[in-house]
């Protein structure tokens, strides 16, 4: 089958093919909490403790018993104080109050905490004129109880979840290993960024960008360098990539390069699922696999490559980590008219702006050339246009994907 005969899939179809083909990693590792950011949890966690473990005060003030609440003003003797972390060794008695602080364990018999601003101190006594509307008590187990399941398996561990795991008294967590993803640029015209260039050479600027996106999404990028436009060079690089969890190629997926890349892939027993998709920028997108190793061939144009990474590579990396990632598509008003769309699904680079009413707007960038990195650097959203979509008017709503 040649490149022209392959079916041109929609973005939705291509995503399904890719995600259905990728097998999640099963290997795990146990690491300290402070290393768990953006990792995927292996097992559901049940708390090892109750929080709070005791009734505690939520404010600075005075603990009083129900028997003391009679006619106002209340005059009570201050028996002692309990600081946060101190263990109460006595109960509240009628006619007495105990000084407490935020987080203090409350003694037996406490009905409520009276805010310190409602109390007037007079030597070892306090005068209380009002109680306030709240009791300012955090009851035992108000947050969670021992044995309660709080973090589910295959969840993405952000700072909030890590804080919760620490409060549950976990020092280490079992997480899935990060996928190792080989990245290969292809083309005689490319050199590594920073090298001395002739007029006919250009830096392989997309490769470090893709590697950083891989790292951002939880993978470990492996730099395979730049392959020349020969079967020997390309095949040697691809062969190295087979020992990793996924291979990403940049360039070499256009119709003119098809025979060269196809021959290299065939000799390494890669099965190709598709070679192009019905979108712009990014029509020459390729996907296949050799055994359990998937390969995603990104377009050579920098913008196309990065847009396709957000749409296809991001979900792939999370799938490898056993995490179900859902594309977050929002709606924003357009800041200007958009012309009718053509036959391909269009992902327009844009940025979020504000109008005179301080409303957020989706503003398309003027230069939509697929090789323009300067315009891409200004973009923080993609505006989605369906195939053959009619003219979109200013202030009408459009679907957008956040890039940052």
CATH code, domain carrying 66 = 2.170.190.11
Residues 213 and 239 in one domain: yes
* pLDDT score of 396: 97
Domain boundary among 320, 351, 383: 320
Residue 6 lies in a domain: no
Q: What is the full per-residue pLDDT of the chain (404 aa) written as tens digits? A: 444 456 789 999 999 999 999 999 999 999 999 999 999 999 999 999 999 999 999 999 999 998 878 778 899 999 899 999 999 988 898 899 999 999 999 999 999 999 999 999 988 999 998 888 899 999 999 999 999 999 999 999 999 999 999 999 999 999 999 999 999 998 877 777 777 766 667 777 899 999 999 999 999 999 999 888 888 999 999 999 999 999 999 986 665 666 678 888 888 999 999 988 999 999 999 999 999 999 999 998 899 999 999 999 999 999 999 999 998 899 999 999 999 999 999 999 999 999 999 999 999 999 998 888 888 999 999 999 999 999 999 999 999 999 98
User: Can you give the residue range of the structural domain that contains 161?
Assistant: 28-50+145-176
Same-domain status, 153 and 265: no
Query: What's the CATH code of the domain at 163?
Result: 3.90.105.10
- 247 lies in a domain? yes
pTM of the model: 0.88
Domain boundary among 79, 114, 138: 138
Asked whether residue 76 is domain-assigned, the answer is yes
Does residue 240 lie in a domain region?
yes
207 with 294, same domain?
Answer: yes
Q: 172 and 32 share a domain?
A: yes
Domain co-membership, 159 together with 296: no
Same domain, 149 and 36: yes
Counted domains in the chain: 4
- Whole-number pLDDT of residue 384: 98
The answer on 17 and 152 residing in a single domain is no
Same domain, 32 and 172: yes
Q: Is residue 1 part of a domain?
A: no
348 shares its domain with 286: no
Asked whether residue 2 is assigned to any structural domain, the reply reads no
CB–CB of 224/183 below 8 Å? yes
Residue 188, pLDDT score: 74
Picking from 320, 351, 373, the residue at the C-terminal end of a domain is 320
Residues 33 and 172 placed together within one structural domain of the fold = yes
In-domain check, residue 336: yes
- Determine the pLDDT at residue 253: 61
Predicted local confidence at residue 257, as pLDDT: 60
Task: Identify whether 4 is part of a domain.
Answer: no
| 95 and 169 housed in the same domain | no
Does 386 lie in the same domain as 283? no
């Amino acid at each position: 089958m040649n490149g022209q005969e392959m079916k041109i899939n929609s973005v939705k179809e291509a995503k399904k093919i890719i995600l259905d083909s990728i097998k999640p990693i099963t290997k795990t590792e146990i690491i300290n909490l402070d290393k768990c950011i953006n990792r995927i949890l292996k097992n559901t966690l049940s708390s090892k403790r109750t929080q709070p473990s005791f009734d505690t005060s939520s404010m600075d003030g005075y603990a009083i018993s129900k028997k003391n609440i009679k006619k106002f003003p209340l005059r009570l003797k201050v028996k002692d104080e309990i600081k946060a972390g101190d263990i109460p060794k006595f109960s509240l008695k009628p006619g007495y109050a105990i000084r407490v602080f935020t987080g203090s364990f409350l003694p037996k018999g406490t009905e409520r905490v009276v805010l310190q601003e409602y109390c007037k101190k007079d030597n070892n006594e306090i005068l209380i004129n009002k109680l306030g509307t709240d009791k300012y008590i955090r009851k035992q187990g108000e947050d969670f109880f021992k044995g309660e399941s709080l973090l589910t398996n295959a969840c993405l561990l952000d700072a909030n979840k890590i804080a919760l795991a620490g409060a549950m008294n976990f020092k280490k967590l079992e997480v899935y290993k990060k996928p190792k993803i080989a990245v290969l640029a292809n083309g005689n015209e490319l050199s590594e960024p920073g090298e001395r260039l002739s007029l006919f050479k250009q830096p392989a600027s997309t490769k470090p960008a893709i590697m950083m996106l891989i790292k951002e999404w939880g993978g470990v990028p492996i730099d395979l360098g730049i392959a020349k436009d020969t079967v020997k060079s390309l095949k040697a690089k691809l062969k190295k990539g087979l020992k990793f969890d996924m291979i990403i190629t940049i360039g070499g997926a256009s119709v003119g390069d098809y025979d060269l890349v196809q021959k290299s892939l065939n000799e390494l027993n890669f099965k190709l699922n598709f070679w192009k998709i019905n979108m712009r920028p990014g029509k020459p997108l390729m996907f296949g696999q050799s055994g359990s190793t998937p390969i995603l061939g990104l377009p050579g144009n920098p913008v196309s490559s990065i847009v396709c990474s957000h749409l296809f590579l991001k979900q792939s990396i999370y799938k490898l980590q056993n995490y179900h990632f859902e594309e977050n598509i929002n709606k924003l008003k357009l800041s200007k008219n958009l012309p009718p769309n053509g036959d391909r699904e269009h992902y327009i680079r844009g940025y979020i702006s504000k109008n005179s009413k301080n409303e957020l707007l989706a503003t398309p960038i003027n230069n939509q050339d697929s090789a323009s990195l300067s315009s891409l650097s200004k973009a923080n959203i993609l505006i989605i246009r369906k195939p053959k979509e009619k003219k979109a008017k200013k202030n009408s709503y459009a679907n957008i994907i956040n890039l940052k």
